Structure 1
Amino acid sequence: MNAHNWIDLAQDADTGIETLRAHFTGHAYDPHWHDSYLVGVTEEGVQQFHCRRERFHSTPGKVFLLEPGEIHDGDAPTEGGFTYRMLYLDPQWLERELSALFEEAPADSQLSFANNLASDQRLAQATSTAFHSLHHGELRIVRQSAMDQLLDQLTGHLHWRKRYHQDPRLPLVAHKARDYLHAHAQQDISLDELGAVCGVDRFRLTRAFKAAYGLPPHAYLVQLRLAKARRLLARGAQPAEVAMALGFADQSHMGRWFVRAYGLTPAAYRKRCSNLPDA
């Protein structure tokens, strides 16, 4: 990591919500995704990221909003870099908490952010307040009140959308390949094997997959493994055990990819989330 970059990560014991404050100069993150809903505020500088085939520039006071599975990256296009604070909201927790604010969800639907970037002063303030209360371990009643205020402000940016089992906008071959990768994420899958499953050669497969998901199959597989690694590490699993279980060549191999996606090592992430010592 760049000597000028830093990350401060914590996890709330009651909700499991992760809170992160970080500063980056130059390149911050490779394309990756999370299993959580991300709600963050840029504090200083210009935070550039790509998502939904668009390039965004988040400046101080703007709120960035990402759904689970949305591929995004991060860069600092201006001198001095950028600083931001962010909350990682578990999807089941979010839907359960919002049930009191939303009418009953339509059948076979999921919560969705209308836009990835918002200029909303009230939401920015609620996000910062919620971050501070969780990150610094305020009294439980203070944390709950802050999160309720955040959820109240979020409702204007959330809507229910149809949950696609097979998105009709994307090629069937890409769906098949994605499902196969999810089902066999720990295995050493070749492009030829994946192409055979989908009934196309590996060249057509790669073109279709990248057009659909923004990453070639091999990069998507790595990100899928990293998302699983993040969950296991947060529960206290040792990095070496996680690397072996998920099919990485070794712990250092997983570590290199983990740092490129999340900005810190698997051991550091595990320690900050689980508060467990290294074995």
Structure 2
Amino acid sequence: MASHNWIDLTQDHDTGIETLRAHFEGHAYDPHWHDSYLVGVTEHGVQQFNCRRIRHQSTPGTVFLLEPGDIHDGDAPSEGGFTYRMLYLDPLWLERELSAVFDNAPANAQLSFANTLACDPRLARATSLAFEALHSGELRIVRQSALDGLLEGLTAHLQWRTRYRQDPRLPLVAQRARDYLHEHFYQDIGLDELARACNIDRFRLSRAFKAAYGLAPHAYLVQLRLAKARRLLASGEQPASVAIALGFADQSHLGRWFVRAYGLTPARYRAKCSNLPDA
């Protein structure tokens, strides 16, 4: 591989999903196929490949969708090459998750992509969010929420998705979910666990919660933890111990969320509020 080409590959330990971000200039790879569903987005440049006897050119923001067994190659037709991000979805995982997210998904539900390229900004954003959540090892509920958003985008036009109707239980479901999050905010809660506690599928749970409180369940949980973090930091607790106590992966993980919410690091906030030096 030429020195200007690079690949960054990780695998999510819960789902087994591989996430890949790569850059190629010139020839990228010979014809091959995967036993996974491939969902990806071109970030930069022109990604050219042959698939289903058609030559495709994917440009920034375009989503490319390949089914297991789709033979494809890849090269960069223009100077500067191309950069893309990709998720590899196992068919068995996909079938299982569709039935968990949507309780009216048909048995043995499998996706079939009518088009290899999709100019769909919402799906492109959902793909990128799912990639970022898995690739960076986010909280379990954040990863699940991002993947559910991807599944929602991938199935948006399927016939069985149109069967959903307004459920009179939803306001009560949202309140029950909120109470559950307050009681278990320090735990590594998953959307599947939250849905089981509320006796509803994950899709309607997320919709009901956002309608009631203006945030998705995963975002609400993060805000709960950050509010608790502020109190602990102001009382003099060290950022590292606060991160562990509240279920963040480590201090830097807490720091990323804290800066996004409040515009300063946990250590800086602690110093301003407690007047205590760092240990």
Question: How does the TM-score come out when normalised to structure 2?
Answer: 0.54
* 1:52 maps onto 2:52 in alignment: yes
CA shift in 2, pair 1:18/1:146, >3 Å: same
In the alignment, the residues of structure 2 paired with residue 149 and residue 101 of structure 1 have an alpha-carbon distance, to the nearest angstrom, of: 12
In the alignment, the residues of structure 2 paired with residue 139 and residue 106 of structure 1 have an alpha-carbon distance, to the nearest angstrom, of: 30
Residue by residue over 1:205-224, the C-alpha shift from the partner in whole angstroms, topping out at 9 and shown as x without a partner, is: xxxxxxxxxxxxxxxxxxxx
In the alignment, the residues of structure 1 paired with residue 158 and residue 68 of structure 2 have an alpha-carbon distance, to the nearest angstrom, of: 13
Match runs of 1:85-234 below 5 Å: 85-99=85-99, 100-101=101-102, 103-105=104-106, 110-156=110-156
Task: Show structure 1 runs of 5+ residues with no match.
Answer: 161-279
Residue by residue over 1:28-65, the C-alpha shift from the partner in whole angstroms, topping out at 9 and shown as x without a partner, is: 01000001000000000000011111010000000000
SS of equivalent residue, structure 2 residue 156: helix
Q: What is the aligned partner in structure 2 of residue 174 from structure 1?
A: none
Residue by residue over 1:52-80, the C-alpha shift from the partner in whole angstroms, topping out at 9 and shown as x without a partner, is: 11010000000000000110000100000
Over the matched positions of the two proteins, sequence identity in percent amounts to 77
CA contact (8 A) 2:63 2:124 kept: yes
CA contact (8 A) 1:28 1:76 kept: yes
Q: What is the aligned partner in structure 2 of residue 31 from structure 1?
A: 31
1:94 to partner: Cα distance: 0.5
In the alignment, the residues of structure 1 paired with residue 62 and residue 5 of structure 2 have an alpha-carbon distance, to the nearest angstrom, of: 21
SS of equivalent residue, structure 2 residue 13: coil
Letter in 2 for 1:74: G
Letter in 2 for 1:117: L
Letter in 2 for 1:31: P
Q: What is the aligned partner in structure 2 of residue 64 from structure 1?
A: 64
Letter in 2 for 1:35: D
1:157 to partner: Cα distance: 6.0
Alignment length (residue pairs):
159
In the alignment, the residues of structure 2 paired with residue 18 and residue 155 of structure 1 have an alpha-carbon distance, to the nearest angstrom, of: 21
In the alignment, the residues of structure 2 paired with residue 53 and residue 158 of structure 1 have an alpha-carbon distance, to the nearest angstrom, of: 25
In the alignment, the residues of structure 1 paired with residue 38 and residue 158 of structure 2 have an alpha-carbon distance, to the nearest angstrom, of: 12
Structure scoring higher RCO (CA < 8 A, sep ≥ 6) equals 1
In the alignment, the residues of structure 2 paired with residue 49 and residue 39 of structure 1 have an alpha-carbon distance, to the nearest angstrom, of: 14
Q: What is the aligned partner in structure 1 of residue 199 from structure 2?
A: none
* 1:82 maps onto 2:82 in alignment: yes
Question: How does the TM-score come out when normalised to structure 1?
Answer: 0.54
Task: Show structure 2 runs of 5+ residues with no match.
Answer: 161-279
1:114 to partner: Cα distance: 1.3
SS of equivalent residue, structure 1 residue 94: helix
In the alignment, the residues of structure 1 paired with residue 82 and residue 63 of structure 2 have an alpha-carbon distance, to the nearest angstrom, of: 14
